[in-house]
Structure 1
Amino acid sequence: MFFDVDGTLVPGTSSSAFLAGFLGHREELTEAEDAYARGALDNRRVSELDAAGWAGVPEKRVAGWLDELPLIAGIAETVAWCRRHGLVPFLATLAWSPVGGHLSERFGFHAFCGPRPETAGGRFTGRVARHFDEYGKRDFALAQARGLGLAPGSCAAVGDSRSDLPLFASVGLSVAFNAGTDARAAATVAVDGGDLREVIPALSRLVTGAR
């Protein structure tokens, strides 16, 4: 069971834009993210532009900011529902690895993926240590499924945007949650709402075997 972060668990914005507000380059990053959504920039370039604004910032300071990250209601309850019904919850995301690590520890996601900012001496350098794009997101999910002995058709993904499309095309059940036009068109089902628990009826198809 694979959940996106930005636009899905973090509503109305992205975790990167939230952090950029503290770092002082939110306007520039928002423009870059909009260009990515239009297909005018790739995620590598967006990551490089964003990472430059992190230069010199202590890792502990970013960790503290993440405690205030705006999140949709119902994450803990949805993760608990997954585990009660034999579904292993993962984060499949292009959010920075500190974000994925924070959310995994906080809510009990099994593992996460994402680009990694470079650090040295407890501070961010302003460079990207590991790039990640929408195809890496898909490949991460498929590798996790293989590791559990599962076929892609027995997996599901919840997301909202362009970065979810390769993964949506690879799993048996895809849920477009508060999503844009492209994700809705690619998904098995679309759900809208202010609480993540609203996707549970759709995810129940994995438990019952219905599609």
Structure 2
Amino acid sequence: MTLRGIVFFDIDGTLVPSVSSASFLAARLGHQQELDDAEQRYSAGELTNEQVSVIDAEGWRGVNTSTIDRWLDDLPLIAGIDEVVAWCRSNRFEPVLASLAWQPVSSSIARRYGFTKNGGPRVGVSGLTYDGTVAEHFNEYDKRDRALALAAERAIPTQRCCAIGDSRSDIPLFDALPTSLALNGGASAREAATAEIDTQNLADTVPWLQQWARGLD
């Protein structure tokens, strides 16, 4: 099957609508308040994503990888994901995750819904146990660069790519693509995106995707 294009989806604040995936896990790991404070400071531009990752990763120390995977089965996600992924697949658009969420989060969502995972930071692992370090940092510019690299690998020009996200971490990718949607977005994401929508059902983005797809013909 020949791809027509790629749709990039953010995770935290977009597919995970309430708390971030990191905060969801931190609540079970016992450091949610510290992590939430760090994420708020990141949103305000006071901390880098790398600094937040170091704070969060320490809370994973000594936890088995299978425990995290099991908890992620309960991660609350926005309604309508199945419908949107089905639309993408039936119209020959690859649905790709572009996110700063930890790689186990992307892997879990990709497995459950049929997205392509593409990057993200990694917590270090020793055997089958997380060691509390950051094995790979991944910021908003890495997110953009990894998305553009995947498009190039697929021989898909940026004109045939769009992105759906909600926050500061989406802005570099929004700026690199001709079409983007701020979904329940913050002020900075709305300003950077070419369109915006507020909804609690991802399927409500399908009319926007259809309009974008028609413009590619």
Q: Same fold (TM over 0.5)?
A: yes
How many angstroms does 1:192 deviate by?
A: 0.7
Runs of 4+ in 1 over 6 A off after TM superposition: none
Match of 1:20?
A: 26
Q: Could you tell me how far apart the structure 1 residues matched to 2:45 and 2:38 are?
A: 10
Match of 1:100 among 103, 106, 129: 106
- Confirm or deny that 1:111 pairs with 2:117: yes
How many angstroms does 1:175 deviate by?
A: 0.4
SS state of the match for residue 94, structure 1? Answer: coil
Q: Could you tell me how far apart the structure 2 residues matched to 1:73 and 1:51 are?
A: 29
Contact in 2 for aligned 1:104/1:112 (Cα 8 Å): no
Q: Could you tell me how far apart the structure 2 residues matched to 1:205 and 1:94 are?
A: 28
State the Cα RMSD in Å.
Answer: 0.9
Match of 2:4?
A: none
Match of 1:120?
A: 126
Q: Which segments of 5 or more consecutive residues in structure 1 lack a partner in the other structure?
A: none
Matched ranges for 1:1-211 at <5 A: 1-209=7-215
Contact in 1 for aligned 2:118/2:147 (Cα 8 Å): no
Q: Could you tell me how far apart the structure 1 residues matched to 2:88 and 2:212 are?
A: 10
Q: Could you tell me how far apart the structure 2 residues matched to 1:185 and 1:96 are?
A: 26
Q: Which segments of 5 or more consecutive residues in structure 2 lack a partner in the other structure?
A: 1-6
Q: Could you tell me how far apart the structure 2 residues matched to 1:131 and 1:58 are?
A: 21
SS state of the match for residue 117, structure 1? Answer: strand
Q: Could you tell me how far apart the structure 2 residues matched to 1:181 and 1:111 are?
A: 27
How many angstroms does 1:112 deviate by?
A: 2.3
Identity of aligned residues (%): 49
How many angstroms does 1:209 deviate by?
A: 1.1
1:149-206 deviation digits (Å, cap 9, x = unpaired): 1111210000000000000001121000001000001111001111001111111133
- The aligned amino acid for 2:92 is G
Q: How many residues align?
A: 210
For normalisation by structure 2, the TM-score amounts to: 0.95
